[in-house]
Amino acid sequence: MPTARRLAHEFLHRRGLTTIFGNPGSNELPFLAELPEDFRYVLGLHEGAVVGMADGYAQVTGRPVLVNLHAAAGSGNAMGALTNAVYSRSPLVLTAGQQVRAAIGMEAMLANVDATQLTRPLVGWAGEPSCAADVPRSLAQAVFEAELHRRPSYLSVPYDDWAAELGPNAAVTLDREVRRGLSPSAAQLDDLAASVAAAKNPALVLGGDLDALGLFDRAVALAEHLGAATWVAPSPHRLPFPNRHPLFRGVLPAGIAPISAALTGHDLVLVLGAPVFRYHQHVPGAYLPDGTRLVQVTDDFGAATRAPMGEALVADPAPVLEALLAKVPARTSEDGYVANPEPRTGETALHPEQVFAALRDTQAGDTRYVVESTSTNAAWWRQLDLRREGSYFFPAAGGLGFGLPAAVGVAMGSPERPVVGVIGDGSANYGITALWTAAHYRVPVTFVILRNGVYGALRWFGELLGTPDVPGTEIPGLDFTAIAAGYGVEATTVTDEDHLRTQLKTTPDGPRLLQVDTEPTTP
Ligand SMILES: Cc1ncc(Cn2c(C)c(CCOP(=O)(O)OP(=O)(O)O)sc2=O)c(N)n1
């Protein structure tokens, strides 16, 4: 009779979950034994880096990804990275080893006490099978939950279950298929199309979900069809629209009053594939300008139910975009991409805009950027010219430690497109161990570290909050070339803009790190 381990491996193989991102403890070894030949285990040296890599890999492949963590200590280390994966809606299947069944209650070493409670505030589903015979079904549920809700799931399995021999019923799970189809009714589509057609000055607010769902080009088609002013929803973790497009009006500011001001004059605001809204700095005001109607279209039930204002249609955005393109009469649009402004220049070091202009001028048009530099967003959108789907990834919950690992995960999941990580010297420390994984697996990725010696975003927040003199915002003396060398990654300190451009024009066959001294700026 087959063991729980063999059935689990077979199920994972059939569902294509054959790449495992992990960091093992003794509890996990019985699951990892006898892995089939076509499985690939990617080792990360800290569970935060493991989940960050898996998040990047899942976002760029669009498929569920298996993560294997050590019990409570390992799962606890992963919580920060997990917050990002929840808000990027990455279908991660987190598995963790539990002590043997007889040792859990006595809390023997490595017992994961109340295992499903630790991650429950974040994941969409958490479980621990009631017996070894339920392991294959529980694993299938964890995979289907993550895939259908696009939200991480968590499964804890006592390690003596894996060797248990199971009866014929356990194998039936392997044949299961679970599919989704959330299309709105014809009446709902007609009603929405009529509202858009009747609007005098409609505006679009597009969310990262559209890029994650492969709708980048259809979003551009819809904006051009409607001739509508188009914003990207605040705090974007993906870019759903070309940022130099003539209809692009910018990334909405993450404050209540500023968003209301930006949308003034639009009688209909259509929010597609985004929460309403991911505010950040608290700037109170009216949620919407007078006379503006907001309609949100999302397949994220929670995003629809928790919004503070407007209407929501819970549906897959794809059929809604197609219906609007088919049913709403075309309007005139604007042509010609907008030119980039001259980059600002630094005095004592490079301005971030000079770094970003160098990236724009030297990197291929299909480059994927993984960005975690929290005070340079305005500079970034002023200088970059991103026109392809899947070009931009940012920590979706603002949890630092995403950038370096996710750049590795994106590069492993999408070897056909170049990948550049643009990481602040503060952020880099939270996921720094991913450098070892990049070196160990020879992952072709460029890390650009912006070394400004401060937590720049916190200084800006200090001014905003009237607390400018707080401690803990200076980080002088970091040398990422020495750190990178210690992890096996080739590294260079860039001395000036010409040196940076020369370096960027070379193509690495493995990981490399460029340390660039920059002047602090504001978001
Ligand atoms: C895990 C974690 N810890 C702390 C923070 C707080 N934090 C911190 C510490 C920031 C400073 C990042 O500094 P940086 O050098 O990476 O980038 P800038 O200098 O451009 O801000 S921004 C921010 O929200 C966080 N977001 N996530």
DSSP secondary structure, 28-46, as one string: GHHHHTT--TT-EEEE-SS
**Going by DSSP bridges, is the β-strand pair 512-517/268-272 parallel, antiparallel, or unpaired?**
unpaired
| Closest-CA residue to 406 (of 424, 422, 389) | 422
Distances (CA, A) of 110 to 56, 80, 103: 29, 21, 9
Please state, in angstroms and rounded to a whole number, the distance separating the CA atoms of residues 427 and 374. 8
| CA 513 to centroid of ligand 1, rounded, Å | 20
| DSSP characters over 331-397 | -----SPPPPPPPP--SSSB-HHHHHHHHHHHS-TT-EEEEE-TT-HHHHHHH----STT-EE--TT
- Closest residue (by CA) to atom 10 of ligand 1? 455
Q: Is the pLDDT of residue 150 over 90?
A: yes
Q: How does the average pLDDT of the chain come out, rounded? A: 97
Q: Is 70 a catalytic residue?
A: yes
C-alpha 354 to ligand 1 mean position (Å): 21
Q: Which of 485, 490, 488, 422 is nearest to 451 (CA)?
A: 422
Residue given tokens 């971030």 in the structure block: 352
Active site residue 280: yes
- Confidence label for 217 from pLDDT (cuts 50, 70 and 90): very high
In the residue annotation, 413 being an active-site residue is answered as: no
Please report the pLDDT score of residue 182 as a whole number: 82
| Pocket of ligand 1 contains residue 430 by CB under 6 Å | yes
454 CA: nearest ligand 1 atom: 19
Give 107's pLDDT tier (boundaries 50, 70, 90). very high
- Active-site residue identified among 280, 311, 333, 440: 280
Task: Please check whether residue 450 is in contact with residue 352, taking contact to mean a CB–CB distance below 8 angstroms.
Answer: yes
Percent of the chain at pLDDT exceeding 90: 95
Q: CB-based contacts of 181: which residues, under 8 Å, 6+ apart?
A: 316
- Banded model confidence at residue 145, pLDDT cuts 50, 70, 90: very high
Q: What is the C-alpha to C-alpha distance for residues 189 and 461, in angstroms, rounded to an integer?
A: 42
Average pLDDT over residues 278-287: 95
Q: Is 401 in the pocket of ligand 1 (CB under 6 A)?
A: yes
**Quick one: which atom of ligand 1 is closest to the CA of 457?**
21
Report ipTM for this prediction.
Answer: 0.99
47 is catalytic: yes
Are 279 and 254 in contact, with CB atoms under 8 Å apart?
yes
Per residue in 25-70, pLDDT tens? 999 999 999 999 999 999 999 999 999 999 999 999 999 999 999 9
Catalytic residue among 255, 398, 424, 431: 398
pLDDT in tens, 330-389: 998 888 899 999 999 999 999 999 999 999 999 999 999 999 999 999 999 999 999 999
* pLDDT greater than 90 at residue 194: yes
> Which one of 28, 145, 224, 372 is the catalytic residue?
28
Q: What length does the chain have?
A: 523
Ligand 1 pocket member 400 (CB < 6 A)? yes
Confidence at residue 522, expressed as pLDDT on a 0 to 100 scale: 80
What pLDDT sits at residue 373?
96
Mean pLDDT (whole number) for 7-14: 98
In this prediction, residues 137-163 reach a mean pLDDT of 98
Contact between residue 204 and residue 270 where contact means Cβ atoms under 8 Å apart: yes
